[in-house]
Amino acid sequence: TFQTNVLTELRKWKLSFIEHHKLQMRQEKEKHAAHVRQLNNQMENLKELLHTYEISIGRKDEVITNLTQALEMKKERIELMRKFTLWRIQQVKAKQEEYANRIADRQFQTALKKKVWTAWRSLSEERWKEKVAKACQLRAEDVCVQLTNDYEAKIAELTATLEQTKAEILRLHSEREQYEDTMKKAFMRGVCALNLEAMTMFQGK
């Protein structure tokens, strides 16, 4: 009956709608699971990056600690050397205070001159290195320019040679065509002469 058919169609439509809804739900779940996996992968990568940063920071802290310890040891050594120098000066001062002061002043002047000389020499060497580096750079630029000019001249020469070769090839092709045309004409003249001679012989017979 019509009502039964309508109910059947409605039931089919309902089942189709439910299946479509289930399919959409399954697709959404798969998308959600893929998004969760992507977020988990990003989280793992961020954890690894954080671990790498922690290791790098730890190494930097270790380097800073080592440098600090080395600096402290250097300060202690300098302090010990200073105290030892003062003790020696005091020992010498008991007998020859004036002489010791003169020697100390001379040593101070010598050390100061040495520092000034070292600083001047370092500055001079640095300026010399800068001049040499600049001269080398200018020389390298000149060489590059010269090489560029040489290569451009060579390319121009090769281009001209190529054009001459192309012209020569065209000339040879033209001469070949003229030669072939001349040979064809000579061959045709020979054939015509043979035909005429044959006809003369046949007519004479």
Per-residue pLDDT tens listing for the chain (205 residues)? 667 877 788 888 888 888 889 999 999 999 999 999 999 999 999 999 999 988 888 888 888 888 999 999 999 999 999 898 888 878 766 777 677 677 788 888 899 999 888 888 888 888 888 888 888 888 888 888 888 888 888 988 998 888 898 888 898 988 888 888 888 888 888 778 777 777 777 776 5
**What pLDDT, on a 0 to 100 scale, did the predictor assign at position 44?**
92
Give the largest Cα separation in the chain, rounded: 160
**What pLDDT, on a 0 to 100 scale, did the predictor assign at position 38?**
94
**What pLDDT, on a 0 to 100 scale, did the predictor assign at position 1?**
67
Three-class DSSP labels, the chain: CHHHHHHHHHHHHHHHHHHHHHHHHHHHHHHHHHHHHHHHHHHHHHHHHHHHHHHHHHHHHHHHHHHHHHHHHHHHHHHHHHHHHHHHHHHHHHHHHHHHHHHHHHHHHHHHHHHHHHHHHHHHHHHHHHHHHHHHHHHHHHHHHHHHHHHHHHHHHHHHHHHHHHHHHHHHHHHHHHHHHHHHHHHHHHHHHHHHHHHHHHHHC
**What pLDDT, on a 0 to 100 scale, did the predictor assign at position 179?**
87
**What pLDDT, on a 0 to 100 scale, did the predictor assign at position 25?**
92
**What pLDDT, on a 0 to 100 scale, did the predictor assign at position 33?**
92
